[in-house]
């Protein structure tokens, strides 16, 4: 891994996390970066998503690939995440949460 030089300026990513119950666990998805996680509770799923986002961004920054950070989830994948195997006429609850990450490019 390459080391990045220290920078006094930080970039701030404002992101959107979705969380939904799937069976006996919760799934989470970051819409702007197409990364996901899961957990036994909503909180675990959200914390896992934050950790996954941080790892993903850190890796790309260390590799000098900042321009590749934004990788939105394809529309069909969003639909699949939101609806999955939901029966017709059955509503599912999806939680949306803001995510913010600061990093030095």
pLDDT at residue number 104: 85
> Rounded to whole angstroms, how far apart are CA atoms 45 and 53?
12
End-to-end CA separation in angstroms for the chain: 15
More confident residue, 29 or 86: 29
Structural domains for the chain: 16-100 (3.30.160)
pLDDT of the residue at 86 = 66
Higher-confidence residue of 83 and 70: namely 70
Question: What share of the chain in percent tops pLDDT 90?
Answer: 70
How many Cα atoms sit within 13 Å of 1 on the Cβ side?
8
* pLDDT attached to residue 87: 61
What the block records as the tokens of 38 is: 């899961």
Q: Is the pLDDT of residue 54 over 90?
A: yes
Using the predicted structure, report yes or no on whether residue 89 has a pLDDT greater than 60.
Answer: yes
**CA–CA separation, 73 and 76 (whole Å):** 8
């Amino acid at each position: 891994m390459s080391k990045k030089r220290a920078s006094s300026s930080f970039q701030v990513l404002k992101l959107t996390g979705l969380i939904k119950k799937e069976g006996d666990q919760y799934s989470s998805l970051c819409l702007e970066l197409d990364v996901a996680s899961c957990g036994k509770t909503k909180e675990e799923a959200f914390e896992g998503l934050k950790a996954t986002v941080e790892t993903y961004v850190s890796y790309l920054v260390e590799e000098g690939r900042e321009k590749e950070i934004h990788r939105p989830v394809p529309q069909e994948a969003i639909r699949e995440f939101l609806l999955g195997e939901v029966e017709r006429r059955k509503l599912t609850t999806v939680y949306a949460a803001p995510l913010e990450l600061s990093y030095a490019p």
